[in-house]
């Protein structure tokens, strides 16, 4: 009996020790479903440059990642919406550290309809009235005489919150809006439903039609393309963020600095999002201690 207790204690100690050792070479990234692929690609490239380091990237929604950051179960929270003040206070309360907000990429939010839908562009106001239930038939916005079927995201998604704040201007979604888990599910639903309308990241937008968005009735319809988003012509675009509790150190700091480097930003484009503009990049890179962003990054590479 006493022997088995001793063995158990040793095993527990060994486990604890190995966990401690593992912790130093292990970074967890959690949050936005929109950013999962981006985060994973970053992790793959960075891990190949830094053998022995393990980065775990998981999704669940921006809110999930932020909750995990507050509860201390993730090192980095990915979020497709800015963190709320309450949430920042939560990190301060529970972790005793200030939140570090790091915009890491730019994303445009596309509004999709089925390929068979004759509509090609809508104004922001029209999209708002469609999603708040004021307009229920496609013919009221110039389409066929059919009911509009709304597809939305679950309310734990940053996309849901962003769309609600910036397109619906904080009005409520109409109750018949079907909430689906993930942009991929929304696109799948719209591709199967000729009367459907949905919204989500541009990166996922394949197989269905992206609407051109008009800021108001008189302005031209703008397509969600890289040039338009980067030039801030496209009306529904946003930053994608990484959130950390306090200033990072060690591997996490190196990861953040690399993500903000030209090398790291080149990954963004491959996944289908938009890299930060050069002015943004040097501004935000300073947050993780990169002075002249390119100079330091070059030194790191050598």
Partner 1 sequence: MSSTVTALPVARSTVTRRRAYDWAIEKFIYLSSLVAIAIIVLIFLFVGREALPVITSPRVHEEVTLSTMFLAQNYGTPEAPLPYVWQPVGAVPKYSVMPLLLGSLKATLIAMLFATPLAILAAIYTTEFAPLWLREFIKPVIEMLAGIPSVVLGFFALIVLATFLQDTFDLEFRLNAINAGLALGLAVIPIVYTICEDALTAVPRSYRNASLALGASPWQTAWKVVLPSALPGVFAGIVLGFGRAIGETMIVLMASGNAAITSWNFAEPVRTLSATIAAELGEVVFGSPHYHVLFFLGVLLFVITFALNWLGTVVVARLRRRLSGADR
Residues forming the site for partner 1 (CB under 8 A): 60-61, 63-64, 66-67, 70-71, 86-87, 90, 133, 147, 149, 154-156, 160-161, 164, 170, 172-173, 175-181, 189, 192-193
Which of 274, 113, 125, 94 has the alpha carbon at shortest distance from 190? Answer: 113
* Residue 181: CB minimum distance to partner 1, A: 7
- What is the nearest approach in angstroms of partner 1 to the Cβ of residue 36? 14
139 or 147, CB closer to partner 1?
147
Which of these, 239, 23, 234, 217, lies nearest to 123 by C-alpha position? Answer: 217
Q: How far are the Cα atoms of 229, 232, 288, 289, 302 from residue 292, in angstroms, in the given order? A: 26, 25, 12, 9, 16
Q: Say which residues have a Cβ less than 8 Å from residue 276's Cβ, sequence separation at least 6.
A: 103, 104, 105, 106, 260, 265, 268, 284
Angle between helix axes 85-95 and 62-71 (nearest 10 degrees) is: 30
Least distance from C-beta 122 to partner 1, angstroms? 21
End-to-end CA, the chain: 57
Query: Which CB, 125 or 253, lies closer to partner 1?
Result: 125
CA atoms within 13 Å, Cβ hemisphere of 273: 30
Min CB(47)–partner 1 separation in Å: 26
SS3 of residue 245 by DSSP: strand
| Closer to partner 1 by Cβ: residue 133 or 272 | 133
> Quick one: 50 or 178, whose CB is closer to partner 1?
178
Residue 141 Cβ vs partner 1, minimum distance, rounded to whole Å? 18
Q: Which is nearer to partner 1, 105 or 161 (CB)?
A: 161
In the complex, least distance from residue 239 CB atom to partner 1, rounded to whole angstroms: 20
| CB closer to partner 1 out of 170 and 218 | 170
């Amino acid at each position: 009996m006493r022997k088995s207790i001793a063995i158990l204690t040793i095993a527990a100690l060994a486990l604890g020790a190995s966990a401690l050792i593992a912790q130093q070479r292990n970074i967890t990234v959690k949050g936005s479903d929109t950013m999962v692929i981006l985060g994973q690609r970053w992790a793959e490239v960075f891990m190949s440059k830094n053998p022995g380091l393990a980065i775990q990237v998981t999704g669940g929604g921006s809110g999930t990642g932020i909750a995990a950051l507050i509860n201390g179960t993730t090192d980095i929270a990915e979020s497709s919406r800015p963190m709320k003040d309450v949430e920042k206070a939560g990190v301060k309360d529970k972790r005793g550290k200030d939140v570090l907000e790091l915009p890491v990429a730019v994303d445009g939010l596309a509004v999709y309809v089925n390929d068979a839908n004759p509509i090609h562009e809508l104004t922001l106001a029209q999209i708002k009235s469609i999603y708040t239930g004021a307009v229920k038939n496609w013919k009221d916005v110039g389409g066929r005489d059919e009911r509009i079927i709304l597809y939305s995201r679950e309310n734990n998604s940053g996309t849901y919150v962003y769309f609600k704040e910036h397109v619906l201007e904080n009005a409520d979604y109409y109750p018949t809006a079907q909430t689906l888990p993930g942009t991929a599910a929304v696109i799948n639903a719209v591709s199967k439903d000729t009367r459907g309308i949905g919204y989500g990241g541009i990166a996922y937008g394949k197989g269905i039609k992206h609407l051109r968005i008009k800021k108001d009735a008189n302005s031209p319809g703008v397509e969600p393309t890289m040039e338009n988003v980067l030039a801030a012509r496209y009306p529904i675009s946003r930053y994608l963020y990484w959130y950390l509790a306090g200033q990072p150190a060690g591997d996490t700091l190196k990861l953040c600095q690399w993500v903000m480097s030209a090398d790291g930003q080149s990954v963004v484009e491959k996944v289908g999002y938009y890299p930060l503009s050069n002015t943004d990049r040097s501004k935000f890179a300073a947050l993780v201690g990169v002075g002249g962003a390119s100079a330091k990054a070059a030194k790191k590479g050598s």
